[in-house]
Structure 1
Amino acid sequence: MRKIIVVLCAAIGASALSACVSTDDALLKTVPIGSGTSRSKPYDFIRCVKEKWTPIAGRVREYSPSADTQAVSVPSGGYTSQSVVLVIAQASANGTGYTIYGDVAVGIRYVTATHACD
């Protein structure tokens, strides 16, 4: 019985994570609203961004879309699971390169907050 519960919990966790990635795919197809390079390592940069975004949004999710990529997104407040702002961060020669996606009107506050982590 315990093994079934563990497997079920793992499946639910994987589904939730894949839902974040798939809903953010729509943002990745839009024109970026910001970008930059941080001297921090990817995990440190993402932690900083999450700290800066949380007072603005309240709900901020952090995940790894791939082995070499970190992401932070803000889910919409409605019933959809789509995000309104997304930052994708990858290691670069000088630290971390990042790109921010989202609606310009909503996202400008997040772009400014993200640049504080440069």
Structure 2
Amino acid sequence: MSTTTRDEFIAEEQKAADRAYDCYEKRLAELSGGSIASASASGKDSVANRKAAEDKAAEYAGLGDASLVISRVDTRDGPAGKPDTWYVGRRAVSDVETRDTVVVLWTAPLAQKGQGHARRHW
């Protein structure tokens, strides 16, 4: 039986959501700054490349007031049958430094796999 209190569980979930948003914002900054700057300096196709980079950044940023993370999936499909948890959201999010997946896009096969498993929705 678990000894995790409700407050501890909520704090753990908040930490995961905070990490997702931090990684999302870092990726957005990377898309907005680096991609656009490199597209601008790319030569003859710089105008088209810059526009494509700007469009990609705007699409990624387009959450509006919607939540980034919409669900949590818990499975026993991890290594050696251990529990595995992942978060599903409106954008695919990876840690910019480690490239670890932080949020799986809701349309991705892994998100669909979670349909038969325990889910927590926000």
User: So what's the TM-score if we normalise by structure 2?
Assistant: 0.31
Higher strand share: 1
Which has more radius of gyration?
2
User: So what's the TM-score if we normalise by structure 1?
Assistant: 0.32
Name which structure has the greater RCO, CA cutoff 8 Å, separation 6+: 1
